[in-house]
Amino acid sequence: MSTRSILALQKGNHVRYCFLHWDGDNHGQTLKEMLDTEIEDLYNKMSPLDDGTYTYLSHLYPQSYWEPYLEAQKKSWKKRFKNMKGFKECYLNPQDTAHDPLFDHAEAPDPTACGAYDTKRKFPKTVKAALNGTYPFWCCEYVWFYNIDTKTITVFSSKNKWKMKQMARRTRKTPKKFDFSAWVD
């Protein structure tokens, strides 16, 4: 299901957050499956937010999931169609890798859905604190906040009247294995 969300990553006292278009209800599980290096890489790639540049993510997947998923879809696509035209637009949508930020206003509902700020808190206690004093845009259903240092995932959901829920994340050193056999025609 397509649920809109915002993802915030904190390292030290610095927080970067941006809009996420797809699968907002699944990002807690995705954060648990991503390698520490992937999350750190995403945080670093979100650095233009520090300068006020608009950034968003179409999707968020661990690389170990994304590459086999694309290969399975390519096989299916080749069986059904004579050429691969349109595959990238259909499946990459439009990110080339699992979690590369995009610098385009076209997909995002609200420019306030991204930013960066400094804080002394290890995690926010309210959704407003997670987004540096603003509320989520009108169709946002989740705000995911991940502290890279403490490995704590905090989620706020519109379905739960933006109340806070926390979960711990263990360090991942090896990718999770995914079974794609059921996905291919």
> At which residue do the structure tokens 């890798």 appear?
97
Whether the CB-CB separation of 42 and 95 falls below 8 Å is answered with no
**Residue 184, phi then psi, degrees to nearest 5:** -95, 135
Query: What are the pLDDT digits (tens) for 92-147?
Result: 556 778 888 888 665 556 777 899 999 999 999 999 999 999 888 888 999 999 99
Task: Identify whether 48 is preceded by a cis peptide bond (ω within 30 of 0).
Answer: no
Query: What are the pLDDT digits (tens) for 40-84?
Result: 999 999 999 999 888 889 889 888 888 887 788 777 777 777 666
d(CA 22, CA 16): 19
Task: Sketch the domain layout of the chain as residue ranges.
Answer: 5-175
DSSP 51: G
Helix, strand or coil, per DSSP, at residue 139: coil
d(CA 127, CA 142): 9
Single pTM value for the model: 0.85
d(CA 138, CA 150): 30
Q: β-strands 142-147, 5-11: how paired?
A: parallel
Q: Give the CB-side neighbour count of residue 27, counting CA atoms within 13 A.
A: 33
Nearest by Cα to 107 from 38, 20, 46, 183: 20
